[in-house]
Amino acid sequence: MKKLFGTDGIRGRANSYPITPELALLVGKATAKVLGGASGHQRVVLGKDTRISGYMLENAITSGLLSMGMDVLAVGPMPTPAVAHLTKSMGAVCGIMITASHNPACDNGIKIFAEDGFKLPDAVELEIEKEILGGKLAEDGVPGEAIGKAFRIEDARGRYIEFAKGSIRNLSLRGLKLVLDCANGAAYSIAPPIFRELGAEVIETAVKPNGLNINDGCGALHPENMGELVRKYGADAGIALDGDADRVIFCDANGNEVNGDRIIGMLALSFQREKKLASDTVVVTSMSNLGLSRAMKQAGIRVEVTDVGDRYVIERMRAGGFNVGGEQSGHIIFMDYATTGDGIISALHVLKLMKESGKPLAELAGFMTVFPQKLHSFAVARKTPLEELSLLPAEIEACRAALGESGRTIVRYSGTENKIRILVEAEQSSDVQHWIERLSAAAKQELN
């Protein structure tokens, strides 16, 4: 089992193990050793979001890479999907993104992409981890004359802007008024010009990062803010990105939230009509609402379900040759355009659908009837394997027996935080509340 890498890279409290400059330097060295091979001066794209700890980690990772003879192409604050794209388009051997995504500013993390722009397979992450923990990396390095160089890529922002607009062939968005919440994160200087250059009127918010305010009461985790602004300014839609812009949540003209399930479904239906939906299949995680599966089935679209985590969605999509998938949380993957979740490209395709259909977002998102659902997450003192507990598994089985095929429950630990997540879904809200309370009480009793 991996000790450092979780479902989305290495993540934790900044300046506390494992997110320390000392370990970040070893990440740079280990990545160079595993992915750079024996040949020197291969290139690595290095990006970050707007957390104050990004400066510390960027310099440490850069030092580790340079000491092993790698050249570093630093792109500064940049969305995670932009780093994935630039890695491939600039012929780099890998890409590294310094971010903790939707987590608060006190956290940070390190994601690594392979040369094809996809996240590293588990086996490669494990190999890098073994190098980091092996205790011998400190002695590794190239001779002085072979040390790598670091370059600041000044046009990286423009490269991604043009790539993103190209995903909808620079379709005019003239006539649309949008509220855009950038979460004081990586897309703060990139997302607004993309939508403006395509002709939309943009009311921007959370575009003044100070290193400490990323995701702070704003962005995809706080869609109520864009909802208020949409109603205030009479906008057609609201778009909220998270800290590294790999996820997006919408709201319609009435300020009502439009989550990842609805985005996946409406675009899958559009792709199906255009005969662009590969194998008439979408890929989602077990957290997606049963209402989405029911609506897709009625439309003749097959739904494949994976474990929670966009990496598992992507793995299934690549294995099956599918091109639309994602998570309820707003990670949407369009394999025809991107190798990872891309909040900006997802938003552009929703706006394209609005323009070409002439329909408001509320109408497009109304294709499904949502089952009442509640997700309760809370910190736990320890992540004891569920099968080693007694009370909680018994309650889970009781819940599943009671709900039958008209509902479900999913209990799992977070892959990036010391939390447990309990989801209950049923046809009746009263059943959802009843079982959320019982399962949460059992979890707290055994884990805290």
Cβ-based neighbour number of residue 163 at 10 Å = 20
3-class SS of residue 102? coil
Q: Catalytic: which of 101, 293, 329, 346? A: 101
Catalytic annotation present for 167: no
Write phi, then psi, for 332 (nearest 5 degrees): -115, 130
Radius of gyration of the chain (CA): 22
3-class SS of residue 60? helix
Residue 412's closest CA among 306, 257, 293? 306
Token pair in block for residue 17: 């193990």
Question: What is the H or E stretch that residue 440 is in?
Answer: helix 429-447
- How far CA 438 is from CA of 354, 391, 397, 445, in Å, comes to 42, 11, 12, 11
How crowded is the C-beta side of 419, counted as CA atoms within 13 Å? 13
Residue whose pair of structure tokens reads 């890098």 in the numeric block? 128
**DSSP character at residue 320:** H
The amino acid sitting at 152 is: R
Q: What is the largest CA-CA distance in the chain?
A: 70
Token pair in block for residue 315: 């793995």
Could you list the active site residues? 101
